[in-house]
Structure 1
Amino acid sequence: MSFAEQQTRLQAFLDADDLHEEALDYMAAHGFLTALAISSEEVPEDEWLTALFAEEPNYANPAEKQAIEEALRNLLQHITRALASDEDMELPCDLDLGEEPDDSDLRGWCIGFMEGVFLREEAWFEQAEEEVSELLLPIMVGSGLFDEQEEFAEIVDDVDLVDDMVSQIPEVLTTLFLLCQAPEEKPALLKPRH
């Protein structure tokens, strides 16, 4: 089975209605695994699988369980390779929250990413708290999880600013990956934007 076929099957499985209501759908799972690929502290597979599904899915049989878990592992490897390449990573969704942000794929992806960050929150911020916080801002805004907080309220009300921020997510991911995975290269890569 090709990677694309495997991912189509994984997406159908994760987007089905019979998973636990707190389980991540495909978009959120992609964001979640992207955060795991970036994190400076590795999360054991059994831990992230538990977090992703919230509870063990009702697999049809052991072969299905094996296939789904392998598809998730392959997706994680695929994301890691994409982040390590010189290209900005392509997200599996449009970089746009649209008219109904809560229903957008990008919101789901950003929520999943933040779930991945929350698994190892201390590790994310221990090396370069200010830089990481700044870099995570577009994803935090995209997630909608922080809209109630005062410092986010002004940003959220500025549609053009939000659009500009979420359009930067692929670039931000590359920078975060280098910052967390290769901190010694950090000074050269964080050039001020003009």
Structure 2
Amino acid sequence: MSFAEQLTQLRSFLDADELHEQALDYMASQGYLTALCICPEPVPEQEWLDVLFAEPPHYRDEAERQAIEGALGQLKIHIARLLAADDDLELPCALEFGDDPDNSDIRSWCIGFMEGVFLRESLWFERFEEEVSELLLPIMVGSGLFDEQEEFADMAQNPQLAADMLAQIPETLTALFLLLNAPEEKPALLKPRSNG
């Protein structure tokens, strides 16, 4: 089975109604696995699978379990390779809310990413708290998880500002990856900008 076919099978499985309501759908899983690839320390597979599904899925048989968990593992490796490349990561969805932010793919992706951060929150902020907080801002805004806080509510209600934030996510991911995994190479986003 090709990687594309694996992803098609994975998507139909993760987007089905049979999974626990707290389970991450396909787009949220993409964000979640991206965060796991950026995390400074690896998270054991069984632990991240348990969080992704919220409760063990009802697989038809052992073959389906192996296929789904295998596809998730392959997707994680694929994302890690893309992050390690020089180009900014291309997200699997449009970088815009559209007419219904709460049901947009980018919102799901951002929620999944933040779930990945929450798994090892202290590790993310341990060494570069200020920089990581600044870099995570576009994803936090995209997730809608913080809209009860005044500063986030203000951003969410400003469509142009929210759109600008979402557009920054790919370069933000590259900067986070470099900061947390190769800190001697300070990401360009954090370098003082020259006025030349």
Q: When the two structures are superposed, what TM-score results if normalisation uses the length of structure 2?
A: 0.96
SS at 2:72's partner residue? helix
Q: For the residues of structure 1 that align with 2:151 and 2:159, how far apart are their CA atoms?
A: 15
Evaluate the alpha carbon distance shift between residue 50 and residue 42 of structure 1 in structure 2; reply closer, same or farther with a 3 A threshold. Answer: same
**How far apart, in 2, do the equivalents of 1:60 and 1:163 lie?**
41
Q: Normalized against structure 1, the TM-score is what?
A: 0.97
Name the counterpart of 1:55.
55
**SS of equivalent to 1:19:** coil
Q: Which residue of 1 aligns with 2:170?
A: 170
Q: How far did residue 41 of structure 1 move?
A: 1.8
Counterpart amino acid of residue 49 in structure 1: L
1:129-160 deviation per Cα after TM superposition (whole angstroms, max 9, x unaligned): 00000000000000000001022122112110
1:10 alignment partner, SS class = helix
Q: Is the Cα contact below 8 Å between 2:131 and 2:190 reproduced in 1?
A: no
Shift, 1:190, TM fit: 2.5
CA RMSD of aligned residues (A): 1.2
Percent of pairs with identical residues: 69
Question: Aligned to 2:146, what secondary structure does the other structure show?
Answer: coil
Q: Does 1:19 align with 2:19?
A: yes
How many pairs were matched up? 194
After TM superposition, the structure 1 = structure 2 runs for residues 110-121 of structure 1, keeping only pairs within 5 Å, are: 110-121=110-121
Which residue is 2:109 aligned to?
A: 109
Structure 1 stretches (4+) deviating beyond 3 angstroms?
A: none
C-alpha distance in structure 2 between counterparts of 1:10 and 1:181, whole Å: 28
Q: Which residue of 1 aligns with 2:154?
A: 154
**Distance in 2, Cα, partners of 1:90 & 1:135:** 17
* 2:122 aligned partner, one-letter code: E
Cα distance 1:159–1:187, how it changes in 2: closer, same or farther (>3 A)? closer
Give the CA deviation at 1:163.
0.1
Cα distance in 2 for partners of 1:75, 1:187 equals 25
Letter in 2 for 1:160: Q
CA distance in 2, matches of 1:188, 1:143: 25
Shift of 1:17: 0.5
Give the aligned partner of residue 95 of structure 1: 95
Look up the match of 1:126. 126
Whole-angstrom CA distance in 1 between matches of 2:52 and 2:59: 15
Distance 2:8 2:99 in 1: 27
Deviation of the 1:191 alpha carbon: 2.7
Deviation at 1:105? Answer: 0.3
